[in-house]
DNA sequence: GTAGTTGCAAAAAATTTGCACGGAC
DNA sequence: GTCCGTGCAAATTTTTTGCAACTAC
């Protein structure tokens, strides 16, 4: 709950010499409000506010925000990226049935393992694929799957 | 060191009703001998033994072996998959400078975290990106990077 | 012999780039 | 006013698919 707000991020953009455009503010807000969307999904939501926006702008903005460490891409087992605002590191529990993503904190033992190898950690990507509790409870709903 | 051998994998293929073709044996051997290659790299190595092999066969075989849980795809921060034979779960330490990948065991705390959420784990993908020890030691060699 | 596999080429999906116009500063 | 950022379309990159020929069983 103590994460960056859009305002923080906008000032981070500005202080790195980048311009604050309506497209960037919009996309930032969308990524902030909906974690784990892919580029297409972000694009479609953005079009509701700004119908003429281009998919290329979405990709270019994502690249920019990644370089500024404001957002990060994660691999949720499909063959395209999903994006979220960068906050504390966490583990994604990705349900293969309903596609939901739950975030849980990263055990300190993981960073300790890297330290033991004298590996200087820049970023982490932890995904656990399986079945979430509610899908385990009602196995029949499997066909409602959001993704493949 | 107590991992599956090609022979084990071939019998696993056979017992699932799939045919053992020279292409499949070759690709399996390549993935076994070189972890973390991408499809293109596997394809190029395969061509040395079997020049007429098609890239589509590589992708189809990778999909097949993934479905049989013989290999797994991992995201090493590029925009395409990398493949390795499935053995015990491990964490990949991916060096952004030289591209090397070191495997370390998964701390039990991680599985415990999933269990607490009553999440049924099927597979895990743990990548830590950063700088490996030898690249930290000699920072000048950065231009030797294998990837991007 | 037959059904599963292959190679090729074309298609689809995901992402990047070139360029002229437009807007943030 | 200047330069960065945008939209559009085309290009690239990565992966999948259709189909006729082939081969493991």
Tens of pLDDT along chain A (148 residues) come to: 455 677 788 889 988 999 999 999 999 999 999 999 999 999 999 999 999 999 999 999 999 999 999 999 999 989 899 999 998 889 999 998 888 999 999 999 988 989 999 999 999 999 999 999 999 987 664 444 443 3
List of domains in chain A: 6-85 (1.10.10.10), 90-147 (3.30.1490.190)
Question: In this structure, what token pair is assigned to residue A53?
Answer: 């926006």
- Which nucleotides of strand C are protein-proximal, with an atom < 7 A from a CB? 4-10, 13-18, 23-25
If we measure between CA atoms, which residue out of A8, A3, A45, A40 comes closest to residue A23? A45
Task: Decide: B47 and B35 in contact? Cβ < 8 Å.
Answer: no
Sheet containing B37-38: order of strands: B37-38, B82-85, B71-74
Report the predicted TM-score, pTM, of the whole model to 2 decimal places. 0.86
Instruction: Give, for A94, the enclosing helix (H) or strand (E).
Output: strand A90-95
DSSP string, chain B: -----HHHHHHHHHHTT----HHHHHHHHHHHHSTTEEHHHHHHHHHHH-TT--HHHHHHHHHHHHHTTSEEEE--SSSS-EEEE--S-EEEEEETTT--EEEEEPPHHHHHHHHHTT-EEEEEEEEEEEE-HHHHH-GGGGGG-S--
Q: What is the pLDDT of residue B140?
A: 61
Question: In this structure, what token pair is assigned to residue B72?
Answer: 């797994």
- Give the pairing type, strands B120-131 and B90-95: parallel
Q: Among A128, A134, A148, which would you mutate to test the B interface (most chain B Cβ atoms within 10 Å of its Cβ)?
A: A128
**Which of B91, B121, B125 is closest, CB to CB, to A110?**
B91
As a whole number of Å, the end-to-end CA separation of chain A is 31
CB proximity list for B20: less than 8 A, separation 6 or greater: B10, B13, B14
Q: Which residues from chain B sit within 8 angstroms of residue A67, using beta carbons? A: none
**DSSP SS3 for A146:** coil
């Amino acid at each position: 709950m103590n994460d960056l707000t859009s305002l923080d991020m906008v000032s981070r953009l500005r202080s790195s010499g980048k311009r604050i455009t309506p497209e960037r503010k919009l996309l930032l807000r969308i990524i902030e409000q909906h974690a784990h969307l892919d580029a297409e999904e972000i694009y479609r939501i953005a079009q509701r506010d700004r119908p003429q926006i281009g998919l290329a702008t979405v990709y270019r903005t994502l690249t920019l925000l990644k370089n500024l460490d404001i957002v990060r891409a994660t691999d949720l087992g499909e063959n395209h990226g999903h994006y979220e605002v960068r906050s504390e590191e966490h583990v994604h529990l990705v349900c293969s049935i309903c596609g939901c993503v739950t975030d849980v904190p990263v055990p300190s033992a993981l960073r300790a393992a890297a330290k033991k190898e004298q590996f200087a950690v820049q970023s982490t990507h932890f995904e656990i694929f399986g079945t979430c509790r509610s899908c385990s409870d009602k196995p029949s709903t499997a066909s409602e799957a959001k993704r493949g």
